[in-house]
Amino acid sequence: MFKGFGRSQRASAAAVEQPALDVKPRHIGLIMDGNGRWAQQRGLPRIAGHHAGMLAMKEAIRACDDFGIECVTLYAFSTENWKRPAAEVDYLMRLPEQFFRSEIDELVRRNVRVRFIGDTERLPTHTQETVRRAIQCTQHNTGMIVNFALNYGGRMEIVAAMERYAREVMEGRATVGQLTEATCDRYLDTAGLPPLDLVIRTSGEIRLSNFLLWQAAYAELWFTDVLWPDFTRDDLYQAICDYAKRKRRFGAIE
């Protein structure tokens, strides 16, 4: 479906092998924005943009693994995306099956472990089954973590974390006053993942859009006007190089 719509001429030119990265983030968050506008510019239906975005996501995952990134979190579907037209939402809910059907063998070969964050129990049954299979197929892998944010919202995650803590207090497994910034991490969906170092957003928008709000407190932010389906390995490399040049003081004096 939509063959030939996947990548632009700009993307096909991004074939130059990059030098090794001396300084790089452990954990990258990707806000993959601009699929609809990419399709609109070409007179195509929005779902063509989402299909092209899926192809760009495949390349981004490969590039992250090749660059030695420990974890990448992909903002695949937000809690706000349910407001979109029903046909578009239905297509988006079927994209995970398309993706894993074609990519699961390579993910296993690359030793990638798949995780999901967000309220996956509210997803359609067929999408939940895809999620379960992807986790099961890669659960013993020990390489890069590919973490899909699916039906995810940062505020919802923080509320759910407070509810988990409150439940432990009620059950006598935690006490009031025990919660700190450090211990809060274990109640979040991202528990066990490396700290978020870099957030990349495409399409020219300059906001987080409810993505990893707690985790992004001290993450470096990198924005580009490139629409997500046109985002290439070269763009990712540039973002990481820019990250390496920044001074991360975390409030201290240099």
Annotated binding site: 33-38, 46, 50, 78-80, 82, 84, 201, 207-209, 220
Annotated binding site for substrate: 34-38, 46, 50, 78-80, 82, 84, 201, 207-209
Looking at the DSSP bridge assignments, the partners of residue 146 are 72, 114
Reply yes or no on whether 119 is catalytic. Answer: no
- In this prediction, residue 247 carries a pLDDT of 83
Residue 251: left if φ>0, alpha if ψ -120 to 50, beta else—which one? left
| Angstrom distance (rounded) from CA 109 to CA 120 | 26
- In this prediction, residue 71 carries a pLDDT of 98
- In this prediction, residue 12 carries a pLDDT of 40
Reply yes or no on whether 33 is catalytic. Answer: yes
- In this prediction, residue 177 carries a pLDDT of 86
- In this prediction, residue 9 carries a pLDDT of 42
Q: Return the number of other C-beta atoms located less than 10 Å from residue 248's C-beta.
A: 10
Annotated binding site for Mg(2+): 33, 220
* Tokens read off for 150: 């699916």
- In this prediction, residue 32 carries a pLDDT of 98
Across 84-192, the runs of DSSP E, i.e. the strands, are 113-117, 145-152
Backbone phi, then psi, for 211, in 5-degree steps?
-105, 120
- In this prediction, residue 40 carries a pLDDT of 97
CATH number attached to the domain at 24-152+217-245: 3.40.1180.10
Measured between alpha carbons, how far apart are the two ends of the chain, in Å?
53
pLDDT tens, residue order, the chain (254 aa): 433 344 444 444 344 567 678 899 999 999 999 999 999 999 999 999 999 999 999 999 999 999 999 999 999 999 999 999 999 999 999 999 999 999 999 999 999 999 999 999 999 999 999 999 999 999 999 999 999 999 999 999 999 999 999 999 999 999 988 889 989 999 999 999 999 999 999 999 999 999 999 999 999 999 999 999 999 999 999 999 999 999 876 666 56
- In this prediction, residue 252 carries a pLDDT of 60
- In this prediction, residue 250 carries a pLDDT of 63
Question: Where are the domains positioned within the chain?
Answer: 24-152+217-245
Among residues 81, 119, 185, 234, which one is catalytic? 81
- In this prediction, residue 2 carries a pLDDT of 38
Q: Would you call 156 helix, strand, or coil by DSSP? A: helix
Among residues 33, 65, 230, 235, which one is catalytic? 33
- In this prediction, residue 22 carries a pLDDT of 85
